[in-house]
Amino acid sequence: MPTNVADNLATLKPEYERLKNVHMRDMFRDDSGRFDKFSLQAGELFLDFSKNRIDEPAFAKLVDVAKAADVEALRDRMWAGEHINITEDRAVQHMALRYFGAEPIIIDGEDVSKDVAAVLAAMRTFAEAIRSGEINGSTGKKITDVVNIGIGGSDLGPAMVVRALSPYVSEVKAHFVSNVDGADIADALASLNPETTLFIVASKTFTTDETMTNANTAKTWLQNALGEAAVSDHFAALSTNLDACAAFGIKSDRIFGFWDWVGGRYSVWSAIGLPVMLAIGADNFEAFLRGAEEMDQHFLSAPIDQNMPFILALLGAWYRNIFDYSTHAVLPYDQRLGRFAAYLQQQDMESNGKQIQRSGEKVDWETGPIVWGEPGTNGQHAFYQLIHQGTGVIPVDFLVAANAHEDLPLHHEKLVANCFAQSEALMLGKNEAEVRTELQAAGKTETEIADLLPHKLFPGNRPSNTILYKKLDPKTLGSLIALYEHKVFVQGAIWNVNSYDQWGVELGKQLAKALLPKVTGEEDADSHDSSTQGLVKAFHALR
Ligand code: F6P
């Protein structure tokens, strides 16, 4: 039985008291082996976590927290196909989608590996036929563009991955439409030719309003250009709701299914990955899956103190629960990971943005942090001021490749130097003596020094992890995403929340449905609060 969460987290308090006034620059000065102690390799990924506010005893206590929470037991139950998503009574088995081993994957008494392999094979056949021009549009022209219509997990994963792997894109260009804001689909369609465009309607439920609205608009656009009969040649669907796909008019051999044990935000590995496969080809997609599998095997087998997802999760909990830091920044020094933070926002915040325990009781501790970020170096010229000198502390993950895809002299070296410099600056800071020396060297008078000095101080002691990899290729990206998925799992287990439901998104959907007739003017808004009534009135006045 896991220990009570609050008691478990409280075991970290004495470590915090011991370390709260210790500066990391002193820890580095006093221990030349710190980097070796607090870094590790897992498959494609190298993690330096030495710039964190821990020492060996504190790290050992963090590991104890995971042990006391029985995280490994929950992990094994997940892998065994148990219904750990208790509020939806479902298994959580996205790892099955990227498992190439020989063991059966049992869910509800059935080995699902054959079904997984069958869908993957069907995706491969279809994707390669589109890419080679074997399957064409209704007028015989080659498909050059695919438009994925989906939202949340049916958009963020594939959109992020296609962007991250743009050097591998060939034959087919992938576009992504998600927002119900008509601007999204209008802008996407503006540059497209219906004859050479394939729409993929991606929706686990096939009921999501934004997606169905966009899908119907796309259908009308295509019908208007090529006639009703052309629709079936220009649409495919990815869903667990196969009947609804057929009802929409999609041919059965273009419907790619998945299962209720794949959460939306964990679905990029499933049929939802079809736009990725179309863009980068089936072999690259398989390498992406294999990268995730490699991280899965590490997560399933490495001891906690050498387990990368566990380590990131425990450090996150250390800052969230003990230091009370409420946000976590993910800063890729990798331009093509421009949507990685947005992707992680759903993965992490929809999973662990919870206040009710698995038991149904309210939590009495903080849970998921706000996750955010932008690629470096752009962020440096925007919000890093606050990261270095703001009143709050923001733990950071830096992500960086050793090699670029481009051969452009010094670009990559400069990028890497900036990345490493930022983690160094956050850790070291700049103290009074250093600022004074600098100002004296710049010829400032004593009065000028006294005025400027406080503004130029950097507190330092600000934590960061650095994840370094050889190159952002499909396999590495697969590992990276799986790393964060498992980190989120471990944190959810420590906080005792169900990371696999998302009831918090429902209320807004319900109210939007109720408000639509008031916004269209079919009904009055009198039953609503005065602000909502006022907004509806003001909206009509502006029309
Ligand atoms: O509203 C949230 C959500 O349910 C996400 O969890 C999901 O990824 C997204 O909507 C899209 O759902 P669907 O794939 O069923 O259209």
Determine which helix (DSSP H) or strand (DSSP E) holds 423, and give its type and residue range. helix 411-428
Hey, what are 233's tokens? 């040649």
SS3 state at 325: coil
Q: Please report, in angstroms and rounded to a whole number, the separation of the first and last CA atoms in the chain.
A: 60
pLDDT at 140: 98
Ligand 1 near 75 CB (within 6 A):
no
Nearest-CA residue for atom 1 of ligand 1? 505
CA of 388 to the centre of ligand 1 (A): 36
Atom of ligand 1 nearest to the CA of 151: 11
Of 13, 470, 509, 513, the active-site residue reads: 509
Q: State how beta strands 110-111 and 106-107 pair.
A: antiparallel
Q: What is the pLDDT along the chain (543 residues), one digit of tens a residue?
A: 567 999 999 999 999 999 999 999 999 999 999 999 999 999 999 999 999 999 999 999 999 999 999 999 999 999 999 999 999 999 999 999 999 999 999 999 999 999 999 999 999 999 999 999 999 999 999 999 999 999 999 999 999 999 999 999 999 999 999 999 999 999 999 999 999 999 999 999 999 999 999 999 999 999 999 999 999 999 999 999 999 999 999 999 999 999 999 999 999 999 999 999 999 999 999 999 999 999 999 999 999 999 999 999 999 999 999 999 999 999 999 999 999 999 999 999 999 999 999 999 999 999 999 999 999 999 999 999 999 999 999 999 999 999 999 999 999 999 999 999 999 999 999 999 999 999 999 999 999 999 999 999 999 999 999 999 999 999 999 999 999 999 999 999 999 999 999 999 999 999 999 999 999 999 999 999 999 999 999 999 999
Hey, what are 339's tokens? 């949507």
- By the 8 A CB rule, do 483 and 312 touch? yes
CA distance 475 to 44: 8
CA distance 214 to 199: 10
**Sequence-separated (6 or more) residues with CB below 8 Å from residue 177:** 147, 148, 149, 184, 185, 188, 214, 218
Atom of ligand 1 nearest to the CA of 202: 14
pLDDT at 1: 56
Written in H, E and C, the secondary structure of 264-302 is HHHCCCCHHHHHHHHHHCHHHHHHHHHHHHHHHHHHHHC
Ligand 1 near 389 CB (within 6 A):
no
Determine which helix (DSSP H) or strand (DSSP E) holds 467, and give its type and residue range. strand 464-469
Nearest-CA residue for atom 5 of ligand 1? 152
pLDDT at 519: 98
Of 210, 286, 350, 485, the active-site residue reads: 350
* Residue-wise burial string across 498-511, b where 16 or more C-beta atoms lie within 10 A, e elsewhere: bbbbbeeeeeeeee
Atom of ligand 1 nearest to the CA of 267: 8
CA of 155 to the centre of ligand 1 (A): 9
CA 529, 535, 536: angle at the middle one, nearest 5? Answer: 90
Ligand 1 near 265 CB (within 6 A):
yes
- By the 8 A CB rule, do 470 and 44 touch? yes
Hey, what are 113's tokens? 């590996």
Q: What are phi and psi of 2, to 5 degrees?
A: -65, 150
CA of 88 to the centre of ligand 1 (A): 14
Q: State how beta strands 173-177 and 145-149 pair.
A: parallel
Residue that the structure tokens 């998104």 belong to = 505
CA of 154 to the centre of ligand 1 (A): 7
* Torsion angle of the four alpha carbons 10, 12, 18, 19, in this order, in degrees rounded to the nearest 10: -130
Q: What are phi and psi of 417, to 5 degrees?
A: -60, -40
Active site residue 350: yes
Ligand 1 near 353 CB (within 6 A):
no
Choose the residue to mutate in 155, 201, 204, 256 for probing ligand 1, maximizing ligand atoms within 8 Å of C-beta.
Answer: 204
Ligand 1 near 499 CB (within 6 A):
no
CA distance 392 to 454: 17
Atom of ligand 1 nearest to the CA of 265: 8
pLDDT at 2: 63
Atom of ligand 1 nearest to the CA of 264: 8
Residue that the structure tokens 């990131």 belong to = 312
Nearest to 312 by CA among 300, 299, 322, 301: 299
Q: What is the pTM of this model?
A: 0.97
Q: Count the Cβ atoms, other than its own, within 10 Å of residue 127.
A: 26
pLDDT at 316: 98
Ligand 1 near 158 CB (within 6 A):
no
Beta bridge partners of 372: 329
Ligand 1 near 270 CB (within 6 A):
no
Torsion 389-390-394-398 (CA) sign: negative
Ligand 1 near 201 CB (within 6 A):
no
CA of 293 to the centre of ligand 1 (A): 24
Ligand 1 near 157 CB (within 6 A):
no
Tally of CA atoms within 13 A in the half-sphere of 217 that contains its CB: 21
Of 361, 381, 406, 506, the active-site residue reads: 381
* Torsion angle of the four alpha carbons 227, 233, 234, 237, in this order, in degrees rounded to the nearest 10: 130
Atom of ligand 1 nearest to the CA of 505: 1
Residue 77 CA: distances (Å) to CA of 72, 401, 460, 495:
9, 34, 41, 17
Residue that the structure tokens 């606050």 belong to = 386
**Helix, strand, coil percent content, the chain, rounded in steps of 5:** 55, 10, 35
Active site residue 328: no
CA distance 498 to 133: 45
Active site residue 15: no
Q: What are phi and psi of 201, to 5 degrees?
A: -90, 115
pLDDT at 177: 98
